[in-house]
Structure 1
């Protein structure tokens, strides 16, 4: 693995535990972006004329990284755009199951439409709560964050497989914004019908890029009306004959932003997602033990067998200011202080955090 403090200069000045809010740009990615802007500056449309094959190459890279088909991949500017477009393709009378306290960009768009909405509680018994809600309400769709943004609670994928097996017609739509980039993930082998995500967090791709993956069976059930000239590749005769995912790409696609996603994927592949996954999992397991020793975790997190790399720690304004004074970057979220560990974090970072809390 490269010298991470050189690759991510922020680490030279701060103990950065705030990837759940904003992922870091690498030096390699920044240099690539500068070169792209320079080519546009000097070439104008000569450079831009190359964008179509570039976009398709990016789509292919995303598909390879997440073990998906290219026909299942849409390149979107952010999760909210993709999710709202997706919901517009669902019949209004559908019943949708949500998680209470889930990310507003999931719950609000559903609640703002003419759906029949029901809920499951987020606590230690998350999966049991979901199972009971499905049995009681018989929803058509279950939309949720794979990892909860406030607490780091991560849904059990084995549970999702069982849920899908018993309810094959239930559409499972997952927000992967706080998940993708933290562990190996195969879309084709997952029980999820749709995964959408902004990729400026753990994918380290900067702002203005995201992705949506949707399986072919779900494509037959969700019919967005969104369309633009780019949907038809700027060919008039293709107005009624274009790939499904192009409903999510109605306008001009930016090779700088989506290219940043591709470059981040190539960097992660160079390190190895197995190495990244193991590093994050190992540090997160140690962090949970250390936080538990200091009574910094709530009962919900303590009693869960599986947890993510995001933690909500007990602490108010005073301790948060103390962390800032010690150049430890994190966020106040809900009732706690949220920290998260990526592959560029170390045990030394964890110990610096622990020292302030002690």
Structure 2
């Protein structure tokens, strides 16, 4: 089997809040293949953005290891990682220096690589055209652009150094629906042409249908389900995934194949490192007392699916507990 481009093993990231140890990411293990698009989905507070920042080298993990092209990624080699892993941020305005022209912002990563001015100018023009803006935008400042235009600049900056992996953190969530569709189509086209691997982080499963190869579902810092895109959208195995689909219906979802049952509560607890049992148990309509006592492990099932649920084998025919 081909070695994955990026492999995470038991990666955790804890933060101190008063006397509590908050587990923003807790023991996540997954891999990303070269050229693959992995969708990373979950509610606010699920830990998906923190995990994306860890992958991009912007956040130090508390525990665990990351391997890129088979080599362990040292914490201090951020400059080396930046050449191979880039990020597209949710806030396109905050990600650009307001005092720099768009051309200067695009020049920075190329100058850091020691590229000649002629090469930099050529690549600036190419990528501004590629993302649908045009070379004239090189002389403009971020405040002169719309949100969609700034996000196109962010995409150009992420891809112009030809990285092996791009992390997109809620890259379309702040945009109008019509602009979202344009940006998603642009990302899909560039990723397909270059064969760049991509981690696409979102709270909305609906945007992943035509983009992702696989989808990973996170809840309170933990990975609950990982499956091929078509499989997860049509036959979600974890109750939390079912609830996400109920909140954001995917047009291609086969409603005859899945029960969408309301959660017991919509309250989102804090992800504490002292938690025992399944963190989703209080919101799960299928939870038994044993679920609150013993944490579930991510179990590999058929057709490349993995699920962290004690009742995943019989949940399709199970009635809600209690």
Fold equivalence (TM over 0.5): no
Give 1 or 2: higher strand fraction: 2
- The structure in which a higher percent of residues are helix is 1
Higher relative contact order (CA 8 A, sep 6+): 1
